[in-house]
Structure 1
Amino acid sequence: MKIFKKTGLAFIFLLIFWILVFDFQRILFSIHNLPKLSDSSFWDWIQVFFHSIRLDIAMGSYLSAVPIIFILSYIVFKKKFLFIIFKVVLITELLLVAMIHAGEINAYGEWNHKLTSRVFMHLGNPDEVFRTADYSMTFWFIFYLILEVAFGWKIMKWLFKKDRFTVLKSQLWVKIVLFIPVLPLLIGFYFIFARGGLQQIPINIDAAYFSKKYIVNDISVNSPYFFGKSYLLFKRSNIGEFLSNYEEEEIEELLSDFLTYEKKHDNYILENTSPNLVFVILESWTSTISNRLSGKPGGTPEFDKLSKEGVLFTNIYSTGSTSEIGNSSIFSGYPALPEISISMQPFKHRKLKSLNQSLKPRGYTAGYLFSGDLKYGNIDSYFTDHGFERIQDESDFPKNLQKGKLNYYDEDLFQIFLEKINRQEQPFIECAFTGSTHSPYDFPGHEKSNWKGEEKSFMNSVIYADQCLSDFIESTKKQDWHKNTLFVIVADHGHASPYVSNPNDSEFYRIPLLLYGPALKDSARGMVIDKVGSQADIAQTLMYQMKVDTGNDYPWSKDLLNPNVPEFALHTTTRGFGWVTPKGQFTFHLDYQRYVENTFDPDVLSVERKRCNAFMQLLYEQYEEL
């Protein structure tokens, strides 16, 4: 019968509609990010359109469940308004999908991964989105949004012509059959398709993975499906279901070296126990931009010179990929858990100690200066809650200074930072957070390209920032407070570089850490520490050197100068986590429950995975109790 034929046609056409939209989006993404595909063959790219089908059908089924109700209603009742509602629903869904994808195209160049729950943090401060994006990104977002909606509109008009689904005559019993058993049956089929079939384990993102090149897999994975999974995890307050459930005895056995290692040692590198502390937190400085740390041509010759006069840590990893996570790890010795940013949860981070609080009894005061807006990531709240006396950002900069789209330039930041330090009584903790190495990289002279090739905008900003750092250090040597000062120079997180661009690679998260300045003993100058650690280990390392009895204030922070310290680093990735030890490293994806990267030998991997699980379980249990 015609009415059943048209019903089946609507069911199939909705899936075809979404598959065509998703494939069109892949083509646009590939064109926009063509340089990133230079290492991939045309055959790799063609395979995307085959390996993506299962996830496309799954996502298309989710999106078709509501429209099928209205188009079936039109087929049965022949009311024009029902067909109009069908189109409105479909266009609304199309607009949302296009917004996700247009945003992903723009974000991918900076993030090197698909759009995730991270966007919700930024959308909490809409002006950040526009200030971080340059004008071309805004243009391309609107351009791709219009193009994708226009394409979808044309396909919709082609597939869903009203006459194609108009039945002139239909008997009452047919209408009853369609609405009582058939409609629920069709929606049921959609949900079966959405879970990938009747198998015990539903379909997941790994269904679209087939290549060893992460960008090819990222193109293959359906964007709204990935975004939806990320959103669900973002909304979850409990990620415990992803973690292990070891008994206390097993945890003690797996982490015996971390829980019981001898904490006392006499490896001191400071001239005295109360130096001024000057933190310079470098936006996005990944270790691979330094020739000293990577052995490859880099953009930080001045930092490399400084590193030969200080204590350089070569195997330090950021705990996450955003600035607010990096700051809380540095100052509170707190590692990161997947999809959790503790600075966004004041009721929890207030229960953590921070370095300034540990040093306050000694008369230290603390200041923090950022060249942008500190409300991003709730950074301002974090430092306010932890008792920093002076917290200043772009609103405190002189209005006559030139400014980039996102922040004031590093050269001006350091000039103002120096002036503020000069007004402080010793001892103090003073912190500057740079910004010129953040997109859109509109530092002075950005139009002059000293670095060619991959990540040239970022690398040119690094060259500029490196000189600004050097100039600042030189200027401090003229100040009275300099002779009793320890500079702690560290990045907030990693970034794609000409050598490492895969955010699933632990090397992406390796960052520089340098202790520098007159407060160091002569015997410590030029020292290189190769032990594996993270930003979270800075707190305990400094506190032990300053002979501060911290008790159990920094339970997750390790003293990297302790000869007995166990070597490991936990870091989060996009939708997962990574674990690094001297024996190797792995990254694991939460969604498709698989190793994305692994360099451990098979017999070692099992043990290290258990150790990582045990560490995260302990950390999460404490997080839940905060």
Structure 2
Amino acid sequence: MFDISLKLLLRRLGMLFGLYMLLRVVFYLLNYSTFAEAGFGTTLLAFLHGLRFDVAAIFAVNSLFILLSLFPVGNTLNPTYQRALKWIFILSNLPFIALALVDVEFFKFIGRRSSNEIFAITDDIIEQFGQLVTYYWYLILGFAVLIYALAKVYPKTGQQASKATQPNVWLRGVRLILVAGFIVLGIRGGLQLKPLRPSHAFVLEPAALGHLTLNSPFTFIKGIGQTKLEEKRYFTSDDALLNAMEFAPGAYAAQDGPIKKDNVVILILESFAAEYVGALNHGQGYTPFLDSLATEGILFRNAFANGRKSIEALPSILAGVPSLMLEPFITSPYQANNVYGLGTLLQQQNYKTAMFHGAANGSMGFNDFSRRAGVQQYFGMDEYPEQLRKNDFDGQWGIFDEPYLQYVSKQLTEFEKPFMATIFTLSSHQPYTIPDKYKNTFPKGELEIHESIGYADYALKEFFQSAAKQPWYHNTLFIITADHTQKSINPAYQNELGHYRVPLLLFHPARRLPRINPDKVAQHADIPATVVDYLNLPTDKLLPFGHSLLDDNFGGHAIFFNGNAYVLVQPNVVAELKANDAVSFYTFSDLAPSPTTEPKAAQKLKALLQYFNNGMVNNRLYFD
């Protein structure tokens, strides 16, 4: 089975691994300033981690070559056949080697490895080909040298090898099947829950090392078929754009006074639509504990999620990035863009940062994104005590909320202070399983989710009762919200706004929060700015989509994309921008057509969309 054909294939693929590592070294040297703050050991780990992405790219690019090299029928060592294989090898790898070399310089402009945006600038490349060749002549020279060297050192069979006896057909067939399985595993990146994707590269600090770990063929292949955002030109200058958004970079400079060192706990409740919360519906709901907590904190009655899926919630809540495209940011072509998450900002103030989610590690890419957002430690189902896992597993998704939140409370007590923790619950997720001992304990309501909402609310109560006994509790700001809405039975929520309405509660057990109008419009993307404002942190790394909820001079807004149009919700008007740039206006909150137009709202919505699209495409979400 391990005959000359397989040995040749391994030598040829090994040569490619060496070439990919050489290209990574060139990329590192010519973009050294990006990675300069990383230590030698961490940089070396980034290089070694890159082998995983090299395997995926090389196997994907050379799958046809591998198949033909081990074809079970005929004499694959025949000189003519081998010459054809060599041409397939060179032609398959040629465009990806070129892409990797182009990225050495292109990275300086876009701040990430190339994806499918290459398709969008093909016309520009053709038009500017002459001056590009003149300016970047050394890349063309390097490309020519690499291709020549690749053809020159390509391992050959030799005259005697072509006459060697090959294994019989069935043995070669079995070998090909085994190799094919290995290739699929390599392209997938292993046996983990989700296939390998660019965000998996960002596991080291500083996060910029993720770009060194990646290779351009991998990011390009992953970008194929993904929708690219269209750049907008509603405003021709940055000043006009910022004025329309009512945003000034650096506006969140710290006020006079010390930085607070309070802990921050963000609780994201699975599927807790505002419709289920009694405090938001004249006492009619399934959340008695959350209702009681609302009397001691600030519950915003007009709060919105920035998306409709769990995977869309985390970027909004932890980084202020709303979901304004068809694909979630976590899996989009822009997932490797520069992001300054709340965890990153708090780490700069020596906060310990962590995220807890009782589901399988890798679920929805939360572990990877939270790391991008500055979360130092991720606690998933793998970290839950093994001796408890069997009894506490819900049979579907992960650990039941009650035992998991008790586990979280104990972990937080062991943390170095101050800390920021994000906790994502899961029991109120379809199929809405609750522990057998609680069956018939909570109101079943009219929808199957209602009973599990009651259980999750009870688990939340038990968490707060446990946390209240811990020394960190009275020095902690709690922010409670839901990831998205769910099934609806109340006609008041069966409309465009109702599909996004979630609870959003600020609570501090020992500090009196500022007097704030609870009717102001709030959204997930406001949470980073609110934490920064509350702690009085100096930073210019907040995005313009959100505002501090503690600023009572601002009436608030929420923005989301419903798959067909962009919607901006403000206290006095709702503006809707369709694909053809037509804008419609509605009253808030009954969504009746507005009798008058609101040009300022239309301009603001267009400005926010332009800022988002162009910032994503050009990897320039933050002003320098």
Q: Structure 2 length as normaliser, TM-score?
A: 0.57
Q: 1:234 to 1:347 in 2, by over 3 A?
A: closer
d(CA) in 1 for partners of 2:235, 2:259: 43
Shift of 1:330: 0.8
Cross-structure match for 2:611: 618
Aligned 8 A contact 2:229 2:617 in 1: no
Q: Which residue identity is paired with 2:321?
A: Y
User: Are 2:362 and 1:375 aligned?
Assistant: yes
Q: 1:281 to 1:584 in 2, by over 3 A?
A: same
Task: Name which of 440, 454, 460 aligns with 1:448.
Answer: 440
Within 5 A, what are the aligned runs for 1:529-548?
A: 529-548=518-537
Q: 1:424 to 1:467 in 2, by over 3 A?
A: same
Q: 1:622 to 1:375 in 2, by over 3 A?
A: same
Cross-structure match for 1:150: none
Cross-structure match for 2:574: 585
Q: Which residue identity is paired with 2:459?
A: C
Q: Which residue identity is paired with 2:543?
A: Y
Aligned 8 A contact 1:585 1:600 in 2: no
Cross-structure match for 1:166: none
Q: Which residue identity is paired with 1:384?
A: R
Aligned 8 A contact 2:275 2:493 in 1: no
SS state at 2:606 partner: helix
Within 5 A, what are the aligned runs for 1:208-287?
A: 235-240=225-230, 245-248=234-237, 251-252=240-241, 255=244, 257-259=246-248, 273-287=260-274
Deviations 1:446-472 (A, max 9, x none): 753854564x21111111111110111
Within 5 A, what are the aligned runs for 1:199-598?
A: 235-240=225-230, 245-248=234-237, 251-252=240-241, 255=244, 257-259=246-248, 273-295=260-282, 297-345=284-332, 348-349=335-336, 351-397=338-384, 398=386, 399-404=389-394, 405-445=396-436, 448=440, 450-451=442-443, 454=446, 456-499=447-490, 505-521=496-512, 524=514, 529-565=518-554, 567-585=556-574, 590=579, 598=591
- Percent identical: 24
Shift of 1:553: 3.6
Aligned 8 A contact 2:575 2:585 in 1: yes
Aligned 8 A contact 2:357 2:381 in 1: yes
Aligned 8 A contact 2:356 2:423 in 1: yes
Runs of 4+ residues over 6 Å off in structure 1: 123-129, 264-268, 591-597
Q: 1:478 to 1:378 in 2, by over 3 A?
A: same
Q: 1:546 to 1:320 in 2, by over 3 A?
A: same
Q: Which residue identity is paired with 1:336?
A: S
Q: 1:536 to 1:313 in 2, by over 3 A?
A: same
d(CA) in 1 for partners of 2:281, 2:602: 27
Shift of 1:501: 8.8
Cross-structure match for 2:133: none
Q: 1:411 to 1:329 in 2, by over 3 A?
A: same
Aligned 8 A contact 1:441 1:458 in 2: yes
Aligned 8 A contact 2:259 2:537 in 1: no
d(CA) in 2 for partners of 1:599, 1:260: 35
d(CA) in 1 for partners of 2:434, 2:291: 22
d(CA) in 2 for partners of 1:423, 1:564: 39
d(CA) in 2 for partners of 1:350, 1:250: 23
d(CA) in 1 for partners of 2:365, 2:407: 23
Shift of 1:382: 0.8
Shift of 1:424: 0.9
d(CA) in 2 for partners of 1:529, 1:339: 31
Deviations 1:455-494 (A, max 9, x none): x211111111111101110111111111211111111122
User: Are 2:587 and 1:603 aligned?
Assistant: no
d(CA) in 2 for partners of 1:497, 1:447: 23
Q: 1:401 to 1:355 in 2, by over 3 A?
A: same
Shift of 1:250: 9.1
SS state at 1:540 partner: helix
Aligned 8 A contact 2:311 2:364 in 1: yes
d(CA) in 2 for partners of 1:360, 1:282: 25
Q: Which residue identity is paired with 2:568?
A: W
SS state at 2:392 partner: coil
Cross-structure match for 1:11: none
Aligned 8 A contact 2:192 2:362 in 1: no
Q: Which residue identity is paired with 1:534?
A: Q
Structure 1: gaps (5+ residues): 1-122, 130-232
Aligned 8 A contact 2:585 2:597 in 1: no
Q: 1:381 to 1:611 in 2, by over 3 A?
A: same
SS state at 1:612 partner: helix
Shift of 1:235: 3.9
Aligned 8 A contact 1:495 1:509 in 2: no
d(CA) in 2 for partners of 1:262, 1:417: 35
Shift of 1:126: 12
d(CA) in 2 for partners of 1:256, 1:328: 20
d(CA) in 2 for partners of 1:535, 1:433: 14
Aligned 8 A contact 1:254 1:610 in 2: no
SS state at 1:240 partner: coil
d(CA) in 2 for partners of 1:618, 1:257: 12
Q: 1:552 to 1:491 in 2, by over 3 A?
A: same
Q: 1:577 to 1:295 in 2, by over 3 A?
A: farther
Q: 1:496 to 1:586 in 2, by over 3 A?
A: farther
d(CA) in 2 for partners of 1:264, 1:548: 7
Shift of 1:502: 7.0
Say what the alpha-carbon RMSD is for the aligned residues.
3.7
Aligned 8 A contact 1:258 1:566 in 2: no
Q: Which residue identity is paired with 1:467?
A: Y
Aligned 8 A contact 1:504 1:573 in 2: no
Cross-structure match for 2:85: none
Shift of 1:497: 2.6
d(CA) in 2 for partners of 1:305, 1:624: 45
Q: Which residue identity is paired with 2:277?
A: S
Aligned 8 A contact 1:338 1:576 in 2: no
Q: Which residue identity is paired with 2:559?
A: L
Deviations 1:280-325 (A, max 9, x none): 1111111121121233611111101001111222222111111122
Shift of 1:431: 2.0
Within 5 A, what are the aligned runs for 1:47-66?
A: none
Q: Which residue identity is paired with 1:240?
A: E
Q: Structure 1 length as normaliser, TM-score?
A: 0.56
d(CA) in 2 for partners of 1:572, 1:552: 24
d(CA) in 2 for partners of 1:127, 1:596: 46
Aligned 8 A contact 1:589 1:596 in 2: no
Structure 2: gaps (5+ residues): 1-187, 195-222, 620-624
d(CA) in 1 for partners of 2:302, 2:518: 8
| Greater helix share, structure number | 1
Aligned 8 A contact 1:583 1:600 in 2: no
d(CA) in 2 for partners of 1:124, 1:510: 38
Q: Which residue identity is paired with 1:531?
A: K
SS state at 1:520 partner: coil
